[in-house]
Chain A
Amino acid sequence: MFEYAKYLRLNKFPLIWCAGCGDGIVLKAMLRAIDKIGLSNDEITMVSGIGCSSRLPGYVDFNTLHTTHGRAIAFATGVKIAKPEMTVIVVTGDGDATAIGGNHYIHAARRNLDLTVILFNNNIYGMTGGQVSPTTPVGKKASTSPYGNLEPSFNISGLAQAAGASFVARGTVHGAHMLEKFIEKAIRKKGFSVVEVITPCPTAYGRRNRMGTAVNMIQDLKENAVTLKKAAKMSPEELEGKVVTGVLVDIDKPEYTEEYAKLSEQLKNKVGVD
């Protein structure tokens, strides 16, 4: 049995998450990944924004920072640059990272700052009661799209890839072991890394869209998930409504804090020249 307790603040339990929420599965996968890498609790700073998933840092025994809505990556940028030896993990949601915080998300990717972003995509604003988000599929109902959503969704992973991230992977809470591997790789990667996790929100999204129980929703994830390899052989029509999982980007390129450290060294060795 994996010993989760050494990473948890058990006195802060029970979790605020609803029964059937997928967020706990991600938490466990993340802790197993951290354990595999062998990071100590002191070496990790976990930063979050606002939303259900952003409550996660409260339950883990790291240096934890629960910030303002959308700004987790901005706060994390300061932590990482001021203490580059720290492993900085950002926990955020689809609304937090790609609506109100979209600017920080793309620019941290562009800079290739060594942050690991675990992005919980549940297609909805759960904490505030089920409002439409940038990843709510067209036609789905939310408390602010009562007639069905008219807006096309963001491709969150594609966005990070286009903006310059070093590592991008997409998984689901159905494939928890795959998820664990993705998170491990993302943390190990020197550079901006994103793991997009498709996770069900039975309370604020599933219920309104008659998607059944939490178990039904996870079963749907299983049925709709398509690996990258499989997806390559499918037509756009066949891919409609599917979730493509796998490592989408894994490249090595100059990382921001390392480049800055090099510059700083050069300047310090150069005396008296402006």
Chain B
Amino acid sequence: MQSNQKDKVQVITGNEACAEGALAAGLKFFAGYPITPSSEIAEILSLRLPRVDGRFIQMEDEIAAMGAIIGASLAGAKAMTATSGPGFSLKQENIGYAAMAEVPCVVVNVQRGGPSTGLPTLPAQGDVMQSRWGTHGDHPIIALAPHSVRETFELTIRAFNLSEMYRTPVILLMDEVIGHVNEKVILPGPDEYEIIQRKKPDVPPEEFLPYKHTESCVPPMVSFGEGYRYHVTGLCHDETGFPTNDPVEIDRLLRRLNGKIEVHRDEIIDVKEDFLDDAKIGIFAYGSTARSARRAMLLAREKGIKVGMLRPTVLWPFPEKFVRPMGETCSHVIVPEMNLGQMAHEVEWATCRNAEVVKINRVDGEPISPQQILDKILEVAS
């Protein structure tokens, strides 16, 4: 390792990497509320943001924090909040607002055990379905799940990029293990990642339609105070942004909102494939659980068992295109999760039940160990 590279080595946690990633992406406004195990993200940003012309505020509650980031984003700031299970539940109504009014923002959820107050200091992956369907009504959403500290940095930047590109809230679904684990990393420098800004209108104010039905399904966006005065509402609205009861307009709006993720699905989804070429047994794993799964896969391969793994970094939209072939080539697909099988159902339908989906579930606050997954591989292989 060259000496200048050595200087860049740091030992940091996932929560620290998340804060750094957000700053690298151009975060200018953070609103939060104390909650374990995500509080470090707020603490770091309270220290850093005022030094870079950013603003940090601890709000009176989780709902307010979500509302504040939407307001800040409309005023032109890249905005984020961070929370965990109970706080994530409280934010849901305003997450729906951001989806409906198409306001870019990033919501970090460092998952802990639930339901309710559950296990504040222990990991879980129980909010996978809530991040998809937590707020009412059909709505678009993107959710990302990092499996390491470095990837947390990268996916935080990607979360901002996706939210700006598609004008949608993006959920960064971490878990307590990733949030608190210390890892040795060299974070990428500014020339190693791309930062995307929201697309501005190329028409004068009098021709501007804030919710125009464009081909990309994503209307250009302008901040408050830039001379394009417009109306933003959570009510069903037409292209001008004003409320409407016209069934044709309502249908058009909701199909475009949901369609914008569909249309761009291939650009959004991202999976890491490992040894899937010759695999007879597949593993579908995400977040910190994927670390144990990878170890188990390597141990099984040493024993001559052909195991491969698919690790999505984007959970929503679901990468069915990559899951379907596993059903054709594998006899079994093992899905380890720190919940009672939330993603396993998705894998089941995506593989068209061609392969047997085998669940490994833990909800006791303990991570799933490589041995536990290896045992299942051996059981399935025999």
Interface residues of A (CB under 8 A from B): 12, 41-43, 45, 47, 57-58, 61-68, 71, 74-83, 85-86, 103-104, 106-107, 260, 263-264, 267-268, 274
Contacts and interface: CB of A to CB of B under 8 A. Distances in A.
Nearest to A69: B93
A145 to B, nearest CB: 26
Nearest to B232: A65
13 contacts: A42-B227, A66-B231, A68-B97, A74-B68, A75-B68, A76-B71, A78-B71, A78-B72, A79-B224, A103-B61, A103-B64, A260-B50, A274-B47
B64 A83 contact: no
B57 interface: yes
The 5 closest A-B pairs by CB, nearest first: A78-B71, A74-B67, A78-B72, A78-B68, A82-B75
Contact of B64 (A65, A74, A267, A268): A74
B55 A260 contact: yes
Contact of A68 (B60, B93, B227): B93
Contact of B70 (A75, A103, A268): A75
A74 B59 contact: yes
A74 B98 CA distance: 14
A63 B93 CA distance: 23
Contacts of A77: 31, 57, 59, 64, 67-68, 71
B207 to A, nearest CB: 15
Nearest to A105: B60
B309 interface: no
A45 B67 contact: no
Contacts of A106: 60
Contacts of A81: 29, 55, 57, 68, 72
Contact of A104 (B29, B64, B93): B64
B256 interface: no
B235 interface: yes
B28 interface: yes
Contact of B51 (A76, A86, A264): A264
Nearest to A111: B57
B23 to A, nearest CB: 14
Given A64-B232, A83-B225, 8 more contacts: A64-B231, A76-B71, A78-B73, A81-B68, A83-B76, A104-B60, A107-B60, A268-B53
A86 B68 contact: no
B67 A82 contact: no
B63 interface: yes
Contacts of A57: 231
B273 to A, nearest CB: 40
Nearest to B235: A66
B230 interface: yes
B242 interface: yes
Contacts of A268: 51, 53
Contact of B229 (A47, A63, A78): A63
A65 B237 CA distance: 13
Interface string B28-56: 11010000000000000001001101010
A177 B225 CA distance: 29
A68 B67 contact: yes
A263 B234 contact: no
B79 interface: yes
Contacts of B76: 82-83
B77 interface: yes
A106 B92 CA distance: 23
A42 B74 CA distance: 14
Interface string B59-95: 1110111111111111111010000000000000110
B26 interface: no
Contacts of B51: 264, 267-268
B341 interface: no
A43 B70 contact: no
B233 interface: yes
A58 B64 CA distance: 23
A58 B31 CA distance: 27
A263 B225 contact: no
Contacts of A66: 231-235
B232 A74 contact: no
A86 B67 CA distance: 18
B234 A67 contact: yes
Interface in B192-249: 223-225, 227, 229-235, 242-243
Given A81-B55, A82-B72, A58 B231 contact: yes
A42 B67 contact: no
Given A58-B242, A103-B61, A78 B31 contact: yes
A45 B94 CA distance: 19
B63 A71 contact: yes
A67 B70 CA distance: 10
A16 to B, nearest CB: 9
A74 B229 contact: no
Contact of A82 (B65, B79, B97): B79
Given A64-B231, A260-B55, A79 B72 contact: yes
A121 to B, nearest CB: 22
A232 B175 CA distance: 59
Contact of A107 (B64, B69, B97): B64
Given A66-B232, A82-B71, A45 B60 contact: no
B70 to A, nearest CB: 6
A12 B55 contact: no
Contacts of A260: 50, 55
Contact of A75 (B67, B93, B227): B67
A67 B234 CA distance: 6
B229 A43 contact: no
